[in-house]
């Protein structure tokens, strides 16, 4: 039983590797909206890649819970978790952003002259994610808050992009074809990971509604949004998480 958390962590890594394979195998295709053509990077392969990242997130959620439940937390497990996270929520989402940037630049009249340098900012997500994990591993342990947005949360948001692009809810998938929007998104997500923002965790002790109202509100609103927002519910949940965390800290001051 003591090896179960590490097995779950390896499940996280396994699905992260599968996600990369699916994403790199995906090839964007042309679609049409209101008489205007645009590249769709949310192909079937990218769709499966997103699902693999989401499954990796489930493994990542449960490995820590099981380790605490069994009382078998160790430095080995902590390092293994970080190594898995950088693949599943750093490298794999970077591949998604690379594919989306490539597809967005391919719409330009001078597409054949576009340099590979244009898609390289996508890899900053993995770099800042690694920095976030290294800082986390070398910071005093706390169960009350995270400093900076955890890399799994960022990875989940990026994993939703091919789904949004695939289903194109409210025409947002079409709007995501702008490379400058993607660059801005990368910059914001990188900053959030290494910022000093204090964000609540999902670790509970001495449970009470008054103490954990941000977590309960976040969970209830996320579940309520699922049938209405569908693929947009992940970015909605991400923004809600940040806003509720800021409101919670403000109320404590």
pLDDT confidence band for 248 (50 / 70 / 90): confident
Report how far residue 210's alpha carbon sits from residue 197's, in angstroms, rounded to the nearest whole number: 22
**Rounded Cα gap, residues 247 and 241, in angstroms:** 10
Q: What is the pLDDT of residue 250?
A: 40
20 domain-assigned: yes
- Predicted confidence (pLDDT) per residue in 18-48, tens digit: 999 999 887 665 555 556 555 555 567 888 8
Provide the whole-model pTM: 0.85
Is residue 212, in this structure, part of any structural domain at all? Answer: no
Give the domain CATH number at 154: 1.20.120
- Element holding 103 (H helix, E strand): helix 92-105
- Which of residues 126 and 200 earns the better pLDDT score? 126
**Nearest-angstrom CA–CA distance, 122 and 83:** 19
Instruction: Indicate whether 249 belongs to any domain.
Output: no
Q: Which has the closest alpha carbon to 59: 201, 203, 156, 163?
A: 156
How far is the first Cα of the chain from the last one, in angstroms, to the nearest whole number? Answer: 42
User: Which residue range is the domain that position 191 belongs to?
Assistant: 4-203
Structure confidence by residue, pLDDT tens digits, 81-96: 999 999 999 999 999 9
Q: Is position 76 within any domain?
A: yes
pLDDT at 65: 80
Residue 252 domain-assigned (yes or no): no
Dihedral of CA atoms 13, 18, 22, 24 in degrees, nearest 10, equals: 60
- What is the longest distance spanned by two Cα atoms in the chain? 60
Q: What's the domain count of the chain?
A: 1
- Residue 235 is assigned to a structural domain of this protein: no
**Does residue 218 lie in a domain region?**
no
Q: Is residue 217 part of a domain?
A: no
């Amino acid at each position: 039983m003591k090896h179960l958390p590490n097995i779950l962590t390896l499940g996280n890594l396994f699905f992260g590797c599968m996600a990369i394979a699916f994403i790199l195998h995906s090839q964007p295709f042309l679609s049409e909206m209101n008489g205007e053509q645009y590249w769709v990077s949310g192909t079937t392969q990218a769709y499966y890649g997103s699902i693999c990242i989401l499954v990796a997130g489930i493994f990542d959620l449960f490995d820590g819970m099981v380790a605490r439940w069994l009382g078998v937390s160790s430095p080995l497990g902590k390092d293994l978790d970080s190594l898995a996270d950088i693949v599943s929520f750093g490298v794999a989402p970077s591949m998604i952003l690379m594919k989306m940037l490539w597809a967005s630049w391919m719409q330009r009249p001078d597409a054949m002259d576009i340099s590979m340098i244009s898609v390289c900012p996508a890899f900053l997500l993995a770099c800042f994610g690694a920095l976030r994990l290294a800082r986390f591993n070398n910071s005093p342990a706390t169960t009350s808050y995270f400093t900076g947005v955890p890399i799994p949360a960022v990875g989940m948001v990026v994993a939703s992009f091919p789904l949004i692009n695939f289903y194109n809810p409210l025409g947002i998938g079409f709007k995501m074809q702008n490379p400058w929007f993607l660059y801005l998104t990368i910059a914001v997500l990188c900053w959030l990971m290494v910022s000093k923002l204090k964000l609540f965790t999902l670790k509970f002790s001495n449970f009470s509604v008054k103490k954990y109202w941000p977590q309960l509100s976040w969970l209830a609103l996320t579940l309520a949004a699922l049938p209405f927002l569908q693929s947009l519910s992940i970015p909605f949940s991400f923004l809600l998480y940040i806003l509720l965390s800021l409101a919670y800290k403000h109320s404590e001051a």
